[in-house]
């Protein structure tokens, strides 16, 4: 190796080692000197994300050195980084430069190898950076959101923004309607609109699926709210559009907000989104009351294991009545939590336990105690009615669910006809298939099944036409109320639902019946079975046993 090449090459190596910290022109200078000595007129690097991109010529070209005098392609080398990035490097000899002899060719190859190492290193860094801060579909991810918040906080620019956690509503249905590829186009279009509002100081990132987080200047929050409530997005060249909206939780970061870490922001917008999902409004702003409620719910979760072990969860039975005779024909088992002498409302703890698998443990606890009570009634010679037990959708992923249910019932030697399992409607294809599997399995075991809250879901007709239920429980929102006449939409719909259930051979029961007007509506439409405060509120075990002994209610 000649001394001049050694000096020039050493300068090049030093510049490569410091390339992240230095002016690119300095690196260009070392290349100019080395390329001039070697007679190189051009270094051309083509990078491709994958073999398909290379095949169609869709890549990125970088020219590191070009004197404008292009000679012959003398050296060509390929590097592959982690099976993802493919790089082709071509070094050209100047037409005016003599052909390379063996020594000069060896020097060119050394230069080429080192250059490719540098290019590969840069590719690895780019891949690592992309995988850290972007997801597989090209959206910035949660790491990007956290980093952005940290950077803004460090330079005092976080306040004056609004953090948003949002979930695109019913996006699986949009994919079904227009196809997944067009659905992807729609999602990008919606997010692009929000990204434009975010501007340079803001950001929009995907947490996964159709869940996103964003940081938007407060000055543009009103526009962002309008977009989140509903925006028509085109999905093809003809301009056909579909409406996209989101359920959103928002935190306004103002002077009253104390920032310590990104979790201060994330925890609050997650809480706000959860509140929005249970609200009549699709957008909910974080408040101090929400923080207090969250602390209370976390406390309930902490208490759950010990409460379950201590038997603090009590079974209350709400009677089901045949209204034409007043006869007690069944009951629904409902849960009450007695803690430190107080009764915790189901609305406070059931939604909390639904967020984890705690709800499944509680459901099996309920089934166990119902079977224990029924066994006691049978042994004492009481007339026993069928008792329904609610199961959460969380159970649907359990492939052994039917066996587990049957196992508990048989453990207490309870005839299967005395147990009914209530399940709520579902909206996704996966849940629908699991629901059908579970209901069919229970039917084969001789255990009655009921679809609960019928009329509030999105797949009601498929639900009863494809799944072999025994009982249809009509949600109280469909029951006629005072002021509804026979021609009112609610009365007409209620009548049709009752008749449809009867035509399909299903028992029909209305829940939430509270007034004489509703009882009259039941009789007029042929719905003979009800449950609700008109007859009884949920009763503790001893009070329900009294109702069992009485056999029903006076007409």
Residue 199 shares a structural domain with residue 86: no
Lowest pLDDT segment from 133-142, 147-156, 426-435:
426-435
Q: What is the pLDDT of residue 82?
A: 46
CATH number of the domain bearing residue 20: 3.30.450
pLDDT class of 27 with cuts at 50, 70, 90? low
Q: Which of 94-103, 407-416, 495-504, 521-530 has maximum average pLDDT?
A: 407-416
* Shared domain check, 388 and 468: yes
CA atoms within 13 Å, Cβ hemisphere of 149? 24
74, 104, 133: which is the final residue of a domain? 133
Q: Is residue 439 part of a domain?
A: yes
Domain for residue 414, yes or no? yes
> In this structure, are 383 and 527 located in the same domain?
yes
Helix residue spans in 334-428 (DSSP H): 346-354, 358-379, 401-411
**Same domain for 428 and 299:** yes
| Nearest Cα residue to 250 out of 227, 277, 223, 270 | 270
Any domain includes 464:
yes
* 313-370 confidence digits (pLDDT tens): 999 999 999 999 999 999 999 999 998 888 888 888 888 888 788 999 999 999 999 9
Residue 2 phi, psi (nearest 5): -70, 155
* Boundary of a domain, candidates 235, 263, 286: 286
pLDDT(63) > 70: yes
In a domain, 318, yes or no: yes
Final residue belonging to a domain, choices 116, 133, 150: 133
pLDDT, tens only, 484-534: 777 788 888 888 888 888 888 999 999 999 989 889 888 888 898 999 999
Are residues 272 and 302 located together in one domain of the fold? no
The model carries a pTM of 0.61
Same domain, 76 and 116: yes
Torsion-angle region of 506 (φ positive above 0: left; ψ -120 to 50: alpha; else: beta) = beta
Element (H, E) at 355: none
Under 8 Å between Cβ of 89 and 115: yes
317/331 Cα distance (integer angstroms):
6
Question: Given CA atoms 96, 98, 103, 109 in this order, what sign does their dihedral have?
Answer: positive
56's tokens: 């169609």
Check: CB of residue 174 under 8 Å from CB of residue 244: yes
First to last CA, the chain: 111
Q: Quick one: 339 and 475 in the same domain? A: yes
Same domain, 342 and 406: yes
Q: Are residues 418 and 275 in the same domain?
A: no
pLDDT computed for residue 83 by the predictor:
45
For residues 244 and 231, the answer to whether their CB atoms sit within 8 Å is yes
| Residues 199-223 pLDDT 10s | 988 999 999 889 999 999 999 999 9
Q: Kindly indicate the confidence band of residue 476, based on its pLDDT and cuts at 50, 70 and 90.
A: confident
The answer to the question of residue 470 being in a domain is yes
Residue 555 lies in a domain: no
Whole-number pLDDT of residue 34 = 85
Residue 82: left if φ>0, alpha if ψ -120 to 50, beta else—which one?
Answer: left
Tokens of 151: 């950077």
**For position 121, what pLDDT does the model report?**
66
Domain that residue 46 falls in: 3-133
Q: Are residues 115 and 147 in the same domain?
A: no
Only one residue has tokens 């059908």, namely 436
DSSP string of 384-404, one letter each residue:
--EEEEE--GGGGG-TTHHHH
124 with 153, same domain: the answer is no
**Do 198 and 338 belong to one domain?**
no
Number of domains in the chain: 3
- State the pLDDT at residue 203: 94
Classify 43 as helix, strand or coil: strand
Asked whether the beta carbons of 478 and 494 are under 8 A apart, the reply is yes
CATH number of the domain at 237, please. 3.30.70.270
Answer whether 437's CB lies under 8 Å from 399's CB: no
Domain membership of residue 199 (yes or no) is yes
The confidence score (pLDDT) of residue 81 equals 47
Token reading at 102:
């063996």
The CA distance from 260 to 58, in Å, is 45
**What CATH code is carried by the domain that includes residue 527?**
3.20.20.450
């Amino acid at each position: 190796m000649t001394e001049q090449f050694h000096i020039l090459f050493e300068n090049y190596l030093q510049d490569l080692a410091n390339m992240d910290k230095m002016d690119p022109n300095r690196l260009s200078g070392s290349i100019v000197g080395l390329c001039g000595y070697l007679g190189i007129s051009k270094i051309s690097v083509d990078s491709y994300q994958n073999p398909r991109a290379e095949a169609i010529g869709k890549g990125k070209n970088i020219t590191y050195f070009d004197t404008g005098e292009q000679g012959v392609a003398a050296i060509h080398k390929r590097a592959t980084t982690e099976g993802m990035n493919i790089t082709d490097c071509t070094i050209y000899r100047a037409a005016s430069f003599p052909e390379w002899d063996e020594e000069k060719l060896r020097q060119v190859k050394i230069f080429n190898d080192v250059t490719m190492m540098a290019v590969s290193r840069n590719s690895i860094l780019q891949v690592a950076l992309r995988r850290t801060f972007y997801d597989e579909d090209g959206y910035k991810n949660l790491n990007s959101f956290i980093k952005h918040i940290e950077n803004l906080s460090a330079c005092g620019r976080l306040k004056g923004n609004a953090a948003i956690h949002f979930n695109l509503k019913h996006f699986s249905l949009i994919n079904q309607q227009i196809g997944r590829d067009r659905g992807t186009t729609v999602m990008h279009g919606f997010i692009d609109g929000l990204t434009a509002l975010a501007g340079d100081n803001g950001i929009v990132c995907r947490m996964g699926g159709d869940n996103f987080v964003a940081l938007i200047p407060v000055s543009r929050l009103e526009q962002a709210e309008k977009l989140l409530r509903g925006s028509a997005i085109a999905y093809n060249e003809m301009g056909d559009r579909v409406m996209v909206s989101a359920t959103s939780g928002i935190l306004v970061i103002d002077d009253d907000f104390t920032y310590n870490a990104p979790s201060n922001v994330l925890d609050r917008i997650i809480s706000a989104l959860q509140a929005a999902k249970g609200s009549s409004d699709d957008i909910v702003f974080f408040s101090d009351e929400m923080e207090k409620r969250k602390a209370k719910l976390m406390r309930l979760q902490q208490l759950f294991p010990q409460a379950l072990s201590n038997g603090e969860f009590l079974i209350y039975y709400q009677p089901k009545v045949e209204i034409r005779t007043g006869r007690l024909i069944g009951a629904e088992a409902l849960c009450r939590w007695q803690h430190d002498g107080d009764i915790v409302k189901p609305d406070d703890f059931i939604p909390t336990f639904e967020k984890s698998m705690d709800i499944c443990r509680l459901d099996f606890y309920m089934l166990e105690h119902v079977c224990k009570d029924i066994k006691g009634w049978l042994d004492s010679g009481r007339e026993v009615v069928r008792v329904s037990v609610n199961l959460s959708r969380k159970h649907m992923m359990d492939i052994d669910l039917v066996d587990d249910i049957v196992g508990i019932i048989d453990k207490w030697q309870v005839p299967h006809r005395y147990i009914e399992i209530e399940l709520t409607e579902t909206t996704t294809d996966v849940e629908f298939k699991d629901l059908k599997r579970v209901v069919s399995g229970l039917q084969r075991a001789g255990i009655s099944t009921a679809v609960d809250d019928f009329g509030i879901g999105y797949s009601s007709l498929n639900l009863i036409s494809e799944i072999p239920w025994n009982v249809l429980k009509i949600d109280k929102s469909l029951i006629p109320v005072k002021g509804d006449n026979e021609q009112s939409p609610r009365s007409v719909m209620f009548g049709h639902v009752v008749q449809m259930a009867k035509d399909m051979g299903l028992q029909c029961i209305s829940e939430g019946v509270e007034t004489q007007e509703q009882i009259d509506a039941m009789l007029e439409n042929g719905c003979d079975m009800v449950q609700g405060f008109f007859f009884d509120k949920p009763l503790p075990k001893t009070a329900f046993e009294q109702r069992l002994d009485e056999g029903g209610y006076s007409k």
